[in-house]
Structure 1
Amino acid sequence: MGCGVQLADSNSFGPNFNYNGGGWYAVDRSPTYIAIYFWERGSTSVPSQVEYPVDKVDTSTWGTPAAYFPNTNCDFPSHFGPMNFIINLAFCGDWAGSVYSSSGCPSNCVDFVNKNPSAFSNAYFNFNALNIYQ
């Protein structure tokens, strides 16, 4: 079971995220809370520890997180074990799959992707960094 979060920043995903050149996401997981942060590319509020990675970070200087889950009625250690990072590059995932039919594109998302590989010859994904701190 979990809680969904919808960030107030419309530049945190999709076409706006791409148009702005991406951004930074950070998750701070402790025994007493989980905090999720997002900063747009070019934002003046990006902490220097995020923009220019260091050996140790101090998330207390990062401002208000975009999502915050305190350990109030949940025993975190019994519900959260070691984390795995999965980078899902599905063309027809939850978001794209749900808006495809109203996009004016032909067929359905999965059929279009499977039958038109040349349409994606210029598609790319760019990760500047993936930093993990303990």
Structure 2
Amino acid sequence: MNTPSASKVLATVRPDGSAHTISVGSIVAPSPEMIAFGAILMKETGNNLKSMKEKGQSVSVLVTQETKSYQVRGKVKDYITSGPLFDQMNENLKAIGLKAVGVWTVEPTDVWNQSANYDAGKKMA
């Protein structure tokens, strides 16, 4: 999750129940209990996250690098617009000329192996 070169895809649920996915390079795991990502250009995703939080639905993050891949599911927790996490996210984004208007946090609930190997589909945590 904290490897910058890994690809990270966030999946949310639209109001009609269909899946919505986006690539999110700002995803980090500041602790085992938290995933955070910047709301930079999130329009539909931001609306989906608000709705999912109200409904108690889980998001899914797929992290992939070469043949290794895993899926983290978690509950949408907070949308932060100030404080140390928000400031650190924007400090990191400044290097690539971007700025977050907020930071979403997610509490991981389970992790699944999605690698191209015989353990694919097995629960890791």
Q: TM-score, normalised by structure 2?
A: 0.25
* Larger Rg computed on CA atoms: 1
Q: TM-score, normalised by structure 1?
A: 0.24
More helix by share: 1
More strand by share: 2
